[in-house]
Amino acid sequence: MVSSKSEAGLIYNIKFSSVGPANVTGQDVVYEPSNIDVAMKLHYLRGIYYFNSQAFQDVTIYQVKEPIFLCFNHFYMTAGRFRRAESGRPYIKCNDCGARFIEAQCDKTLEEWLEMKDASLEKLLVSNQVLGPELAFSPPILIQQTKFKCGGVSLGLSWAHVLGDVFSATEFINFLGKVVVGYQPARPNNLAHSLTKANSTQTLQKIVEDPLSIKRVGPVEDHWIANNSCKMESFSIQVTASKLSQIQSRTEIKGPFESLCAIIWQSISKIRDGPEPKVVTICKKSEEKKEGLVGNNQVIGVVKVDHSIREANPSELARLIKNDIIDERLKIDESIENDHGVSDVVVYGANLTFVNMEGADLYGFDWKGHKPMNVSYLIDGVGDAGTVVVLPAGPNDSSKDGDEGRIVTMTLPEDEIMKLKFELNKEWSIA
């Protein structure tokens, strides 16, 4: 299938096909997402990997697709389709339906594209499709290859968050790189989750109130995206390694993520109408060993303050983010369990949400010895309170000491963006 040009001709010659497992999974194989997975079902990760012209020189489209077939042998639940049990709880029927594969061309060179630094345009390089309204026909993964005028290539990964967090998504794409150079994956024996259930005391506590980190929406039924009450827009800023060092000195906290979150939290508090965001959600890599190939294992917690954010010392806010996160995963687990897995909630944007992707191996994707020159991730399906994603700028933006800069991608109500850029530039000389 071929479609016409998009966004004033930037992306054109768009073709659709499918890729699935090379082997048959078997009959009546199902995969049940955990309660935390179900809580994330209205969110989507969109990752973009940029490669220079040498990486895919003389590579045919079949040579790109072939290792994906083998990758799905290993991650076969990601090639299935969602169904609902009689109770209404969603599960994946592992029926080998595969992923959607998109080919496209871009009217710009890779250098010209990266110089635009426009997060909203980046969405053209990765599918924005969501699950539903016909779940049985909706792939949870879509992969887009876009060829630039110079021969450079981007690979876009659209990943339904119900499958797993960014650490699972990067494991999937990095595994693909291993298959490309001849690694033969064995089909895993058991993909079932071992769910962590709260004890009876925690269950009684949960019945009283919902976790602070989720917000009920909907019902969305089988169209897995929440409606916003305002228009949301995304934009990115790049903070160099030297600028990051200055910010950490001013906030008196040795932690890039915590320092950036503190100044952005305070800046949003200054420009946002209405009450200050005195509860924020923090998502970051868990130190616990992951069970299964994919899943939402990241820490989801909240930080609460009872004083003015506008008047606070940024170093105190950074310290709270570093040391005083209240982990809410057990509460979320129990909340979804009590609703028999049919809840419709948002996590990202239920409160102002800060997502730390520093622990993800973003540059671990290797295509026959070629590493991506740039990697970008953003989150779709964000609630009205907004989300701030912090990820490494990559080895090309490192100081002489080896410290990397950071890319900060924010998804916020449209009317806040210009005001926030002005505030960040005035106070911190960024944006």
Q: Residue 226 in contact with residue 42, Cβ under 8 Å? A: yes
Q: Residue 299 in contact with residue 325, Cβ under 8 Å? A: yes
pLDDT at 184: 80
Q: Residue 407 in contact with residue 391, Cβ under 8 Å? A: yes
Q: Which of 3, 25, 6, 22 is nearest to 14 (CA)?
A: 3
- Quick: pLDDT tens for 1-40: 444 445 557 999 999 999 998 888 877 889 999 999 999 9
Q: Residue 74 in contact with residue 187, Cβ under 8 Å? A: yes
Domains 11-181 and 215-375+382-428 share a fold: yes
**215-375+382-428 to CATH, choices 3.40.630.10, 3.30.559.10, 1.10.10.10, 3.40.50.300:** 3.30.559.10
Question: Residues of the chain with pLDDT > 70: what percent?
Answer: 91
Element (H or E) spanning 163, and its range?
Answer: none
- Quick: pLDDT tens for 133-189: 999 999 999 999 999 999 999 999 999 999 999 999 999 999 999 999 888 866 654
Q: State mean pLDDT over 279-302.
A: 90
Q: Is 324 helix (H, G, I), strand (E, B) or coil?
A: coil
CATH class of 11-181: alpha beta
Domain ranges of the chain: 11-181, 215-375+382-428
pLDDT at 8: 54
Give the integer Cα–Cα distance in Å for 42 and 180: 32
Q: Residue 103 in contact with residue 62, Cβ under 8 Å? A: no
pLDDT at 206: 44
